[in-house]
Amino acid sequence: MGIQERNEKLFYRVLQDDIERLLPVVYTPTVGLACTQYGHIFRRPKGLFISISDRGHIRSVVNNWPENDVKAVVVTDGERILGLGDLGVYGMGIPVGKLCLYTACAGIHPHKCLPVCIDVGTDNTSLLKDPFYMGLYQKRDRSPAYDDLIDEFMEAITDRYGQNTLIQFEDFGNHNAFRFLRKYREKYCTFNDDIQGTAAVALAGLLAAQKATGKPIAEHKVLFLGAGEAALGIANLIVMAMVENGVPVEDARRRIWMYDKHGLVRQGREEKVDSNQEPFAHPAPDSIPHSFEEAVTLLKPSAIIGVAGAGRLFTPSVLQKMAAINDRPIIFALSNPTAKAECTAEEAYTLTEGRCLFASGSPFDVVTLPDGRSFKAGQGNNAYIFPGVALAVILSSVRHISDRVFLEAAKALSEQLSPPDLAQGRLYPPLSHIREVSVCIAVRVMEFLYANGMAFHYPEPPEKEPYVRSKVWTSQYDSFVPDVYQWPRNAPS
């Protein structure tokens, strides 16, 4: 980040040239560690901090940002940072890291990106005792003033930068994430990456898996470990994909189960089922499982997807049961950072005898089995989705972003997977190709947006791919050394 402060173009050139190795440093999993220590490593602000004390004059705070042509904003309130919980203003590392990827992965100009952290306090008692904590020393404000603050923030951003400004919500608590998505999606150009971006990358993995199994997505039974915003976002997009393949919506929902900290999400259980979870709260099975392993035994899923952020809950016996039930079990351990992953790639491949189709949220090294077979786990990283979607949205001047956009993005990503990648065990293309992947997603999404009357940039570019490529910011250096062979013959030496 010191390089970014001194020489921005060099920073992005270095990042792009070795993105597969450096992405885990700029983003997951290192960004999680950076957020936990943010006040201790802080040197200078990289984004805009807005506190609840600023209520009533947020527009003047936004006016202080020096850039006049912002196209993309990533905002967090720090309540649920990755799988680490409430980190308050230390969560600023997430918007900063996300917007680095907007530029590195999709060529969105860095000066058109604005990271924002909303400070309403924190319920993390250790931070409230931390002398280096940079935020308000108070419990998180959950009064109507919080909603008023977010309303005022949304109005201030669009008032200064325009109604088409993309506002990405990031790492809000589950309740607020769904609430704000419903509240703002028809009023502003906004999406929630934890709900929609995660959904698209997970669905892309399932679509890629069907190339290996030959089993269409409509025939899968999916069991989630976790029932928060990531699980519900993925589940709803899977339902949308199944419906597109001719499955009635109720039948599609019945193929999806969830298991949270209170047990199986089902009708009539003592613990409250959130209104967002109700479509996936089915009548209780014959016997009620008392552990995730029992749920696997009882429901016999073809895929398990971990998004609970609770650590190693895909135990050896769970993995072995999945291998016994399925010829090619699908195992997605998507929780971040690495310490929160449900299992490692080595555990998954070893305990399923190399038959599983595995994806993780954080990177894992190549796994070599005793018989000599090697597998490279696909990383189900949202960076495959949100930069390309953001690029398409910005170039198309979209006013509202529908879930169909993320369905198209998921399909476009799955189509980027080559047969050699699949043979290696990958469900996603190599991260070294991510700039090209983002361009392909942007082109596919733009075609969808214009075809469905959602784009407001006119005239419509007749050829989308050359248009997208002409608009991306590049970190290539211009050469100021003329080609000696082009000099006039009589030029002085």
Residues taking part in catalysis: 27, 98
Strands of the sheet with 166-169, listed across from one edge: 48-51, 113-119, 72-76, 166-169, 190-192
Angle of CA points 134, 381, 345, to nearest 5° = 110
Nearest alpha-carbon partner for 96 in 79, 76, 80: 76
Tokens of 215: 């089993």
User: Any bridge partners for residue 222, and if so which?
Assistant: 256, 303
Tell me the C-alpha to C-alpha distance, in Å, between residue 100 and each of 2, 12, 77, 112, 487.
Answer: 13, 8, 19, 11, 40
Residue type at position 146: Y
d(CA 292, CA 161): 47
Reading the block at residue 349, the tokens are 């491949």
| Tokens read off for 367 | 């796994």
Residues in contact with 256: Cβ distance below 8 Å, sequence separation at least 6, in sequence order: 221, 222, 224, 235, 238, 239, 280
d(CA 241, CA 254): 14
Identity (one letter) of the amino acid at 451?
A: A
Phi, psi of 235 (to 5 degrees): -60, -45
Q: Which of 224, 118, 222, 136 is nearest to 173 (CA)?
A: 118
Closest among 82, 84, 85, 83 to 97, alpha carbons compared: 82
H or E element: which one contains 153? helix 144-161
Cβ neighbours, 10 Å, residue 367: 20
DSSP state of 489: T
Contact partners, residue 50, CB within 8 Å, separation at least 6: 58, 61, 62, 116, 117, 118, 119, 149, 153
